[in-house]
Chain A
Amino acid sequence: MAKRGIEKQLNILDYALSSLWRRRTKNLSILLVFSAVIFLVASFLMVSKALSDRAGQLLVAAPEITVQRMSAGRQEAIPLAHGERLQGIFGIRRVVPRVWGYYFDEVTGANFTVLGVDPLQMPGGDGLATALARGRLPEEGEAGMVVVGQGVVETLALENRQLFSLFRPDLSLKTLTVSGEFAKETGIMTADLLLMHPAEARDLFLIAPGFATDLCISVANSREIETIARKIAELLPDCRVLTRPQIQKTYQVVFGWRSGFASICLLSAVAAFIILAWDKASGLAPEERREIAILKVLGWETADVLAVRFWEACLVSGLAFLLGMLSAFAHVLFFSAFLFRPILLGWSVLAPGLSLVPALALGDFLLLAAFTVLPYLAATVIPAWRSATVPADSALGG
């Protein structure tokens, strides 16, 4: 009995395969369109997840609390004396002044991020050396030394030279020497980065000694971040206090907004495909209805007809899903998701040259399958079921 059942299923599968082959042009077209839709949605989900994960990893090294002075709603330089006032708050381990700004290079049209900070004073700053592809971090007292990101290296053509100059606001030139380069893997955060000592950054931006753009604060107990942030805000009412969780959330929101926007566009494509599939499948062609009727007249059961259609749909949608997922994986891993980078990373002149590791949450995987494979199965099997349950004598004619 079981052997008979297996033999029957094999016959059904055999018929389904030959049926797919007989309509190979139509099925191949569906397969390609279906794969393309899955490829787009899957690679988008993969790249947004990979970027979000990468940003999350890198932000672990961000200061737990950042304090910036505000005046008339705009950020201003903060006196280092503010940092000394904060030392009295219990729970603060260290206050490190930082000079952080942007430098627009008119020649290349690129915007560099300038970060003036003593890495050794930053918590975990000694570990920053591991983010370097070559060279070393500037040491205290070394004038004009800078570590640059890969985007800066390419933009300023620093591959074969170490000296370059930037303009101060008064148009005098400040000469810098490359002491190291950040690794490509950290590109999402460092591609456009110039890391130097605060004194060098002050000199570049002509910020007065005794001032910084913000204060980076590390705390003894990370669970106290919010409490300490509140105390700082009370002590320095002219300052904005940002916590690391807030910054992480902001990144997530930015990625979330961008990926959400693109997701809507892509889901529209999925919806269009489903509607098309439904339209195609719900109105079975007369020859398909006739075929079902003939099969029933020849002794096929309604369940057999449905099984054939089910296998056909499973094979097409399963293969399309596999093809789409594999190409999405390759697109993200080997081609750095070139189709979606501008959307997710912005159209920066210095696009970070980072390599992405494709990632997809199980929920997203299942959601994608639910939104693509299941509707296609339904769009194929339900009309066949409707045709198979009407009397088969229509095939007799007359």
Chain B
Amino acid sequence: MSAIIRCENLVKSYPADTRPVSAVANVNLVVEREDFLVILGHSGSGKTTLLSLIGGLTAPDSGTVLVDGVENWQQGDQALSVMRNSRIGFIFQFASLIPTLTVMENILLPLSFSQRPAGSRDLAEEILAQVGLADKAGSLPAQLSGGQQRRIAIARAFINCPDIILADEPTGDLDEETERDILQLFRRYNKNGVTFIVVTHNSELAASQERARVLMMRQGVLTEQDGEAGVAHA
């Protein structure tokens, strides 16, 4: 298998009152195609920042992120947007739906600027059924529970048939049964070739996936589960 994502010497810090806070400290990471990578860590350990760096949402202070050999921040805004739109599905820590759009409109939003395939609405309905909310297509987010909103956000992440899913605490608001269904859905997509990078503090999530690879993040440093820092490689 070939590396789909490669992070080299990745550093990111945020300004603070006295001195900058290091969110990601010299992270090296290689993710193979069809990997299911789980990054465990407590709140504030830098997991979300690492996802932002990989997804091209924020620029690193130093180091590089390569997706299929192309360095994220050497591309222009347009190419980066196209990459985010066509190759990556994001699942945010919070549902992040647009409150004034219906469920269906939210799900179809990533397809606004791509050449929308003829059956995209059918696909959206199918994914909506997969997350168990087939009857909510016309509802507004405010009419749904937190868990339901989370499932809509998950459905939206799959609508553009991405190669990579970046998920931040994807099962945070879900009850046990729904969590099980969603993890099964992840497993199915993963078997079909989608690469997953999931950050969570839920260690059971890794156990639910057949071929999950688990890494730990502490104070911006990424380590293998055995505690060795540096290059995390499958």
- A residues with a Cβ closer than 8 A to B are 4, 7-8, 11, 15, 18-19, 22-23, 287, 290-291, 294-304, 391-393, 395-398
Can you list 27 A-B contacts with CB-CB less than 8 angstroms, sorted by A residue number? A19-B100, A23-B100, A296-B81, A298-B109, A298-B156, A299-B83, A299-B86, A300-B81, A301-B81, A303-B77, A304-B113, A393-B48, A393-B55, A393-B58, A395-B96, A396-B48, A396-B51, A396-B52, A396-B57, A396-B92, A396-B93, A396-B96, A397-B92, A397-B168, A398-B48, A398-B94, A398-B169
Determine the distance from Cα of A19 to Cα of B83 in the docked complex, in whole angstroms: 25
From residue B30, how far is it (CB to closest CB) to chain A in Å? 22
Which of A11, A392, A398 meets B168, CB within 8 Å?
A398
A291, B83: Cα distance in complex, Å: 20
Distance in Å from the Cβ of B14 to the closest Cβ of chain A?
A: 11
* Cβ 8 A contact of A15, one of B82, B93, B112: B112
The interface residues of chain A lying within 8 Å CB-to-CB of B49 are 393
- The answer to whether residues A391 and B168 also contact, given A11-B113, A297-B90, A398-B43 and a CB cut-off of 8 A, is no
In contact, A301 and B77 (Cβ under 8 angstroms): yes
Q: Which residues of the partner chain A approach B105 to less than 8 Å between Cβ atoms? A: 18
Q: How far is the CA of A206 from the CA of B90 in the complex (A)?
A: 97
CB atoms of A299 and B85 under 8 A apart? yes
B84 adjacent to A298 (CB under 8 Å) = yes
Contact A291 B98 (CB under 8 A): yes
B18 at the interface (CB under 8 A from A): no
A398/B93 in contact, CB under 8 A: yes
B112 & A301 in contact (Cβ 8 Å cutoff):
no
Distance, CA A304 to CA B80, complexed state (A): 13
Q: Which residues of B contact A301 (CB under 8 A)?
A: 77-78, 81
Task: Tell me, yes or no, whether B99 is within 8 Å of chain A by CB.
Answer: yes
State A398–B113 Cα separation when bound (angstroms): 28
Known contacts: A301-B78, A391-B52, A395-B92. The answer to whether A294 contacts B57 by CB under 8 A is no
Number of B residues whose C-beta is below 8 Å from A? 39
Please, which residues of chain A bring their CB within 8 A of the CB of B48?
393, 396-398
Structural contact, A397 and B94, CB atoms closer than 8 A: yes
Known contacts A15-B112, A391-B52; is-contact A297 B57 (Cβ 8 Å): yes
In addition to A391-B58, A397-B168, A398-B43, 16 A-B residue pairs with Cβ atoms within 8 Å of each other are: A11-B113, A15-B112, A295-B109, A296-B81, A297-B92, A297-B96, A298-B85, A298-B90, A298-B109, A299-B85, A299-B160, A395-B96, A396-B48, A396-B51, A396-B57, A398-B47
Residue positions of B touching A, CB distance < 8 A:
43, 47-49, 51-52, 55, 57-59, 77-78, 81-86, 90, 92-94, 96-101, 105, 109-110, 112-115, 156, 160, 168-169
Q: How far is the CA of A22 from the CA of B96 in the complex (A)?
A: 17
Decide if the interface of chain A is mainly helix, strand, loop or mixed: helix
Interface centre among A303, A395, A396 (most CB of B within 10 A): A396
Which residues of the partner chain B approach A302 to less than 8 Å between Cβ atoms?
A: 77
The smallest beta-carbon distance between B82 and chain A, in angstroms, is: 7
- CB-CB under 8 A from B83, the residues of chain A are 299
Return chain B residues, CB-CB under 8 Å to A396: 48, 51-52, 57, 90, 92-93, 96, 168
What chain A residues lie within 8 Å of B160 (beta carbons)?
299
CB distance from B56 to the nearest CB of A (A): 9
Contacts of B86 in A (CB 8 A): 299
- Which residues of B are found within 8 Å of A290, using beta-carbon distances? 96
B57 to chain A: which residues have CB within 8 Å? 296-297, 391-393, 396
Q: How near does chain B come to A293, taking the closest CB pair, in angstroms?
A: 8
Chain A residue nearest to B172 (CB atoms) is: A398
Residues on A with beta carbons closer than 8 Å to the beta carbon of B109: 294-295, 298
Docked Cα-Cα span, A7 to B116, in Å, equals 10
Contact B113 A22 (CB under 8 A): no
Q: Which residues of B contact A296 (CB under 8 A)?
A: 57, 81
Residues of chain A within 8 A (CB-CB) of B156 are 298
- Least distance between B150 CB and chain A CB atoms (Å): 12
* Other-chain contact of A287, B90, B92, B93, B99 (Cβ < 8 Å): B99
- Chain A residues with Cβ below 8 Å from B101 are 18, 22
Nearest CB on B from A312, distance (A): 13
Write the nearest CB–CB distance from A300 to chain B, whole angstroms.
6
- Complex CA gap A303/B80 in Å reads 13
* A291 and B43 alpha carbons, distance in the complex (Å): 25
Using CB atoms, name the residue of chain B closest to A8: B113
Closest to B59 in A: A391
Which residues of B sit under 8 angstroms from A398, Cβ to Cβ? 43, 47-48, 93-94, 168-169
| Chain B neighbourhood of A298, CB < 8 A | 84-85, 90, 109-110, 156
Query: Inside 8 A of A7's CB, which chain B residues have their CB?
Result: 115
Minimal beta-carbon separation of A396 from chain B (angstroms): 5
Bound-complex Cα distance A299 to B112 (A): 9
Shortest Cβ distance from B197 into chain A, in angstroms? 13
Residues of B within 8 A of A393 (CB): 48-49, 52, 55, 57-58
Tell me how far the C-beta of B123 lies from the nearest C-beta in chain A, rounded to whole angstroms. 16
Contact A299 B84 (CB under 8 A): yes
Taking CB atoms, residues of chain B closer than 8 Å to A304 are 81, 113
Distance (whole angstroms) from the CB of A49 to the closest CB of chain B: 43
Task: Please measure, in the bound complex, the distance between the C-alpha atom of A8 and the C-alpha atom of B78, giving whole angstroms.
Answer: 13
CA distance A134 to B114 in the complex (A): 73
User: When the two chains form their complex, are residues A299 and B100 in contact, meaning their CB atoms are under 8 A apart?
Assistant: no
Of the candidates A15, A296, A393, the one having the most CB atoms from chain B within 10 angstroms of its own CB is A393
How far is B85's CA from A183's CA once the two chains are assembled, in angstroms?
71
| Pair B85/A294 contact, Cβ less than 8 Å | no
Least CB distance from A291 to B in Å reads 5
